[in-house]
Structure 1
Amino acid sequence: MPTFINGKIFVGTDPTSFVSAMKIEAGQVTWTGESSEVNDPDAINLEGKTVLPGLIDVHTHPKYIADALHGVACTPPNVNSIEEMKAALKQSPAFGKGPATWIEGWGFDETKLAEHRTPTVDDLDAVSTTQPIFVYRSDCHSSIGNSRALALAGITASTPDPVGGFIGHFPDGHPNGYMKEVAATQLLIQAKSAQSYRADVDNMTNSSAHYLENGIVAIGEMMGRTQPYDSLELYQDAVKDEFKPKASIYYVYDEVAGQGRLTPTDDPQLRIAGIKVFMDGSISGETAYNSVPYPSGIQGVCLTDADKLKQAVEFAQSNHLQVAVHAMGDAAIQLILDVTDQMTPWLTDWPSIRIEHASILSDAMLNQLNHARMNYALVTQPIFFFAEDESYRHFLSPEQFKEAYRVKSMIKSKAAFALSSDAPCTPWAEPDSPFVNIYAAVTRKASNGDVVNANEAITVPEAVLAYTNWPAKIGGFSSNGQLTPGCAGDFVILDRDIFLVPHDDIKDVRVVQTWMAGKRVY
């Protein structure tokens, strides 16, 4: 029954409410108030430190993070060329471990590489031809593999493109190692995961420390799978091995559509929450579905048409699940609104439809959203423009760029709102740092110093609410998000006061302690 005094405790109910003391019993907050009201000689002295409710990353890819933590970061500021990527992969702890051990990497963006091209199978074969190699592109939609990885996945010159994906080829027809979009990348992932389920469980369990170090106590798994094994099984086994963050799983719709039934669960630690629908790809990969063509003349890819989106919504309605729809391009977002805005919501305690990323929003789209019958959530990631400013400047028209990541406008809309990371799907060495994301939302500064739509900046308290209270309501973490009586005793202690430090220092804030259910876990 710990009691805490002498803190600056952000309650999480609104931007201005703070207390200096709180009590936690049986894993829940039972009282908040001022230190002068406490007579407990064993009370824990917070020594003036800032306390936040446990942080929630409501859109991330924990399986990918688990892989990345033992993989190689092929991102700026450490890797800036294909040659540096090859050298980094050779430094992987997996290098030289034998033909059954995959060498993994993540985060490359061909626009940021000195060679200005996508690495190929030949580049990776220069690292190894005996060990399979798999490297995610920064968006985690696409990837590259070496010849050994392609062989294990059964990919040859005659392998057909999977629906919604593209297998790259050299001019002579043989595979060049580039697997474009999720459906193609999954061919390599399934070959990799099928090799060792136990290794995947161990990786997931080990990733628990990573989340707690970042103050993240709850996560939204946005790539739930049924093949080569069920994601729920993976999490259940990881939880048995002391994986601590709470998790909501969203299954990729294409994998569950034929099942007819996906039952939601409401376990406070681990729950099936919804389905994930892909409307398009990424802006930096020129696959986000846009109304204005890219400089190359293409408009991206539309992965889900109106009829299929309606089918997905009907599936979610019949199973009482939430729909999370990946949409980065404005044409993709517009299609979602046109299909669903006058539908009747089927969930009342949380939004029926989440629009993930919502990277480009016009005033007309915001107006349509505000007059919709549907109850929406907008879940976005300023860390994308922070890390990928050059790509956005290059690929978007000036008018589209002005509509990028309109965080302030999203908060003002009637939709629910949250910040999240989409980690590790951005080319930055700390892709799921809440404080880099908060920094970008507050300062609107990119890593290169560029200021991106300064009029869309939000306040620090708003950004903190977008990592605590607001995502709790979107992601179904009903006991989290604030430190009030009856809520979970999940909180973090920071190394400095995020509300008072100069804004340029926000990205350097660190968590010194993470507590869950009134027990210190980091």
Structure 2
Amino acid sequence: MPTFTNAKIFLGTDANSFATAMTTSNGQVTWVGSANDVTDPAAINLHGRTVLPGLIDVHTHPKYIADALHGVACTPPNVNSITEMKAALRQSPQFGKGETTWIEGWGFDETKLAEHRTPTIDDLDAVSTTQPIFIYRSDCHSSVGNSKALELAGIDQTTPDPKGGFIGHFADGRPNGYMKEVAATQLLIRAKSAQSFAGDVSNMATSSTHYLENGIVAIGELMGRMKPADSYHLYQAAAKEGFKPKVAIYYVYDEVANNATLKPTNDDQLRIAGIKVFMDGSISGETAYNQAPYPSGNRGVALTDAAKLRQAIDYARQHQLQVAAHAMGDAAIQLVLAVSHDLTPWLADRPSIRIEHASILSDQMLKEINDATMTYALVTQPIFFFAEDESYRKYLSPDQFKLIYRDKSMLATNAAFALSSDAPCTPWAEPDNPFVNIYAAVTRKAANGDVVNPEEALTIPEAVLAYTKWPAEIGGFTHNGTLQPGKAADFVVLDRDIFSIPAVELKDVRIKETWLNGQKAFG
């Protein structure tokens, strides 16, 4: 029954509640109070360190991160051209390991590359034609593969586009390796994952340390799959091999639409929580579905129409699952509101519908959210404008840009609110570092120094609550989010006081220790 004393413990119940001591027992917090009341001579002295409830990344892609951790970061500041990308791929630990070993990378954004184009099958074939190569674009919707990867996926110039996706071609009809949007990217992912379930489990288990280093004790898996392996079974196996964060899985609706047996589960460590519906693509990829056109004249891609969204909502209601609707463009968000605004919520313990990203929100949309019968959550990622400011400036009109990532306005609505990373789906070397995201939310500064809609800045306590209490309530992590008696003894010790440092230092905060169930798991 360890007691912790001489600390600055943020309880997470509101923006202003702190304690200086805490006792845990059997994996739970049993008491919080003043260090002056501690008499235990064996109490652990934290020497004034700041303690937060364990952080929650309620929208991320752990399978992708597990892949990325042994892949190549094709992101600034290290990779700024296709030439540098090819050199980095040749330095991959997987390079030269044989024809069954995939070389993987992630994070490229063609607008940030010196060549100002997407790498092609020919670029990657210059690295290897005997090993398959797969690289995620920064949004994780699109990707590029070499000839070996396309061969394993059975893709040639006669392969039709999958519904909602596009296979790129050269002028002569030959596939150029670019797989645009999720449905096309999945063709390569399935070929890759089909080779080794055991390898996926091992990668996932190894990634556990990555989360603990970042203070993340619970995650929302927003890309649950049934093929080539059930994500629930993948996490079960990974947990047996040492994967420690708590997980709530949201299955891609298209993969479970005909599954009459999918039901929510209540295990605190691993749960089936909901379904994921893709309404559109990404702003940086010019595929977010917008009301105003991009400079190219396109308005993006509408991946789900009103009829299909109603089907998904009916499915979620019938199976008592939450709906997480990926909607970046304002037309996509408006469609979610139009279909669901007047519907009766079906979940009592959390919002029935999550709007993921909510990247462009007008005042009218905010009013509709406030006036709705439906209960919503808004889960957003300021790290996107932090890392992708140039793309947003390029592809959005000045009027659209004024409406991006309106964190303060979202927080003022009746909707639940949380920050998350969507990692690794952004061109930044640390895509799920919570403190980079908090820095962006508080300072509204992009990596290039641009200031983005500063009136939408959060306070530091609000940004911390958006990584603790509020995502716990949205994602159903009922034992986490705060440090109160009866809650899980999952907490982090910081290397500096996040509440008093200059805002410019927020992105430099690091985790000194992570504790799970009252036991030190990192540090």
Whole-angstrom CA distance in 1 between matches of 2:258 and 2:478: 30
Structure 1 equivalent of residue 169 of structure 2: 169
**Structure 2: stretches of 5+ with no match in the other structure:** none
CA distance in 2, matches of 1:407, 1:77: 27
- 5 Å matches for 1:491-502? 491-502=491-502
1:161-204 per-residue CA deviation (whole Å, 9 max, x = no partner) reads 00000000000101000000000000000000000110000000
The one-letter code of the counterpart of 1:10 is F
Partner of 1:27: 27
- State the match for 1:328 in structure 2: 328
1:132-281 alignment to 2 at 5 Å?
Answer: 132-281=132-281
* SS of equivalent to 1:486: coil
**1:191 & 1:288 partners in 2: Cα distance?**
27
Q: Give the distance between the partners of 1:104 and 1:23, measured in 2 at CA.
A: 45
Deviation for aligned residue 1:51: 0.3
Which residue identity is paired with 1:70? H
Letter in 2 for 1:472: A
**1 CA distance for matches of 2:260 and 2:340?**
21
Q: Secondary structure of the residue that 2:212 maps to in structure 1? A: helix
1:472 is matched with: 472
Structure-2 residue corresponding to 1:348? 348
SS of the equivalent of 1:242 reads coil
Q: Report the 3-state secondary structure (helix = DSSP H, G, I; strand = E; otherwise coil) of the residue aligned with 2:194.
A: helix
Partner of 2:106: 106
- Structure 2 residue matching 1:63: 3-state secondary structure: helix
Deviations 1:422-462 (A, max 9, x none): 00000000000000000000000000000000000010000
Q: Secondary structure at the match of 1:118?
A: coil
Amino acid aligned to 2:268: P
Cα distance between partner residues in 2 of 1:262 and 1:274: 9
Q: How far apart, in 2, do the equivalents of 1:116 and 1:499 lie?
A: 40
1:436 aligns with 2:405: no
Structure 1 equivalent of residue 6 of structure 2: 6
Q: Distance in 1 between matches of 2:173 and 2:267?
A: 50
Letter in 2 for 1:262: L
The equivalent residue for 1:65 is: 65
Letter in 2 for 1:228: P
Cα separation, 2, equivalents of 1:23 and 1:133: 50
Asked if residue 50 in structure 1 is aligned to residue 81 in structure 2, the reply is no
Corresponding residue for 1:394? 394
Structure 1 match to 2:74: 74
The corresponding residue for 2:518 is 518
Amino acid at match of 1:102: W
2: CA distance, partners of 1:369 / 1:475: 19
Instruction: Report the CA distance between 1:230 and its aligned residue.
Output: 0.3
Amino acid at match of 1:242: G
Q: Are residue 457 (structure 1) and residue 457 (structure 2) matched?
A: yes
Letter in 1 for 2:270: L
| Aligned counterparts of 1:84 and 1:497: Cα–Cα separation in 2 | 38
Q: What one-letter code is carried by the residue in structure 2 that aligns with 1:209?
A: T
Deviations 1:441-498 (A, max 9, x none): 0000000000000000010000000000000000010000000000000000000000
- Cα deviation for residue 243 of structure 1 reads 0.5
CA drift at 1:260: 2.3
Could you tell me how far apart the structure 2 residues matched to 1:453 and 1:381 are?
A: 14
Question: Structure 1, residues 358-406: CA drift from partner, whole Å, max 9, x if none?
Answer: 0000000000110000000000000000000000001001111000000
- Equivalent position amino acid for 1:222 in 2: L
**TM-score for the superposition, normalised by structure 2:** 1.00
Task: Tell me, in whole angstroms, the C-alpha distance in 1 between the residues paired with 2:298 and 2:260.
Answer: 36
Shift of 1:261: 2.9
Instruction: In structure 2, give the amino acid aligned to 1:176.
Output: N
Report the Cα offset of residue 258 of structure 1: 1.1
Give RMSD over aligned pairs. 0.4
CA distance in 2, matches of 1:77, 1:296: 28
